[in-house]
Every structure is written in C-alpha cells, then in structure tokens.
Structure 1
C-alpha cells in the first residue's frame, strides 16, 4: 500500500505551562478551540498533512508538558525533532524570559541542524499584553529564527507559522540532498534566517 505523503516531519512545541501549546496544536490539527484544556501530562501528539511546494508533508506535532517536573520526560523527545517551536504568552512576561532557558535546552538536547521558530501566543488578548511585539522580534533576530504572534483562539497566524516552519525544513532537506548530505539533522544549520514580521489583524 502506497504511503499517502512524501515526507514525515516531527515538530515539537516547547515553552512554559499555560502558554497555549495544546490549544495551538489542536487549532492547527483540528481547527477547533477550547479554553478549558487541562495541563498536558507528559507527551501527546497530533497529525496533520499539508501540501508544500507540491509535496505532501505529514506533520507529527508533539505537545510537551511545560512544567519543570516533566523536563526529564521531554528531553528524550528532542531527538528526531526536525522543527522546534518555542512558545510564550504575550500576557506573561515570565514565560517570555524563560525562552532563553528553553533555547539552552534545545542546544543541549536537540540535533544541531534543527529548525527553530518563536511564537508569541494569545495576541487576541491585546489589553492584557505584557510583552511588546518588538521584544519578540528582537529575540528571534538574535537567534536567527522566524517569529510570529499567534492566537489559537482566533486562529490568527497558526497555519501560517506551522507551514512556514515546514517549508524551512523542506528547503533545508532539499538543499542538503542536492549537496549529497543525506540526514538534514547531521550538520549544523549554517544559514540563519531573519525575523519574519507578522502584523496584528
């Protein structure tokens, strides 16, 4: 039986508990929203197949518990991840400050060539904003990664951000294959991307 996709990409969402990782994944995979989710215990994942540059890409999106006590569980899941999305809550400054700790965790546990992206979630809650958009853009630029502000509730930029990350992975894979590099995660990512601006609607 022929497989129904050209590539399978494992994506991982990390960030503090309560920033909306589960809501983002459910919005992306099922196009629904429920603000009464209980905290994820351990690990869960969702699947969505999307088409990028004429290729069918199966995205396996892993949700991790943000609580520190589950960190030992989540470290094993960095391995094999081709894209990692760091999520903070724009209404919670501490969740933004902790992104640096999550960056360090990626460096310690993930493959050196992994694609990364920064998301500032809950941008529908503008009146409660604590983290200016410019701070997110600046941090993303410092790390050479894409940046989006998203809302799982309104679905703003959810598809766009996941698809942008999948596109980056595919382009890296294609470029490395052209140079005879089989595993896209074997080498350090030498081409760093700039911040991608995304306007609030």
Structure 2
C-alpha cells in the first residue's frame, strides 16, 4: 500500500514515463489521432485523462484509513465553441492556453491540473476540502470569464472523496454535479452522462454504460 506522498508522485512519474515511451514507439498517425487522450495535451501542456485516473486511484489508496482531504473539480468553458467560431481558432487556442496558465498560477504544485476535452478541465485538490476547493475555483473562474468579457462562462462540478468511494465514483459525482450546474444555467433538465461523455464534454457517441446522478 502506498503510504507517502513521495511514493504517490513516483507512481505518477512512472505513468508519465510509460506514456512518453509509448508515444515514441507509436506510429505517427496514432500520435496525431490520440490528441488530448494521450499523456499530455499539446495545446495547453496539461496532463490528460489517463494520468488523472491513475493519480486519483493512487491518492485514494494513500488516504485509505486516514482523513486526508481530496477533492476533484471539473470546469467547463460554456460558450467556448461559439467564441472560437466567431473569432477564429487562434483566438480559441489562446483562451485555452491562458485558462491553463490561470489554473497553474493559482493552484499549488501538489494540485495538478488536467485537460479532459475541448473545453473541459479538471483540478485534483489533494489537500483541500470541498469548501476550500470551491473558493479557489471561484477565484480562478472569475479570472477566466474576464478574459472574454463574459462571452465564455465557466461551469463547475465538484466531488469530495468519502470513505469507500472509488475513482470512478468521484468522477461520476463531479460529472453529474457539473451537468446539474449546466441545467441550472440553461433552465433545462439535466442529462445522465456516461463516463466517456463526461470526460469529453458529451462529444462521444452514447455507447457506454449509463451512470446514476450524484446525490
């Protein structure tokens, strides 16, 4: 069982190294096609879904039997597609990069930031309660919204680890919380999202097992 922070980061390092080695061995077409589903997102230099899943499992294992705080935040840039369509892909890419920089600037080194889909990010707060994480994210999203004078509005979802929760349960809860926040914003009924749809912001076909809404 992993018991120290150094062991957790060593595990994460091994995941990253393995991904890099795979990228070098993979055919060029596969590297291009993998996009943000590889180890690092080429647009923002943020880590991606596979690394988040691995690190989340490690942190949950480390916290087993302890009271360490662990909170997952998901942030979606609502209105991003329309903004990029109006002002062009370079403007959209600039927003993504600046968003990543804001998240990195405000969070601690121990709280890694990830890009999960075209307009979706995640932050794993490894030493923050739900309330603490919500305050930090509120400050960050206010800065992101100011980048486009309100044309892009960040929507957030959270999940705080509780005893017995798995990594997928945390992901599920954060996804459904995010969907509920979108429903509140758009005044429409919330959808149940599959895990793959959650990661990608609903860009994948609905071919995976449906998950229940968070309570």
TM-score, structure 1 normalization? 0.33
Q: Which of the pair is proportionally richer in strand?
A: 1
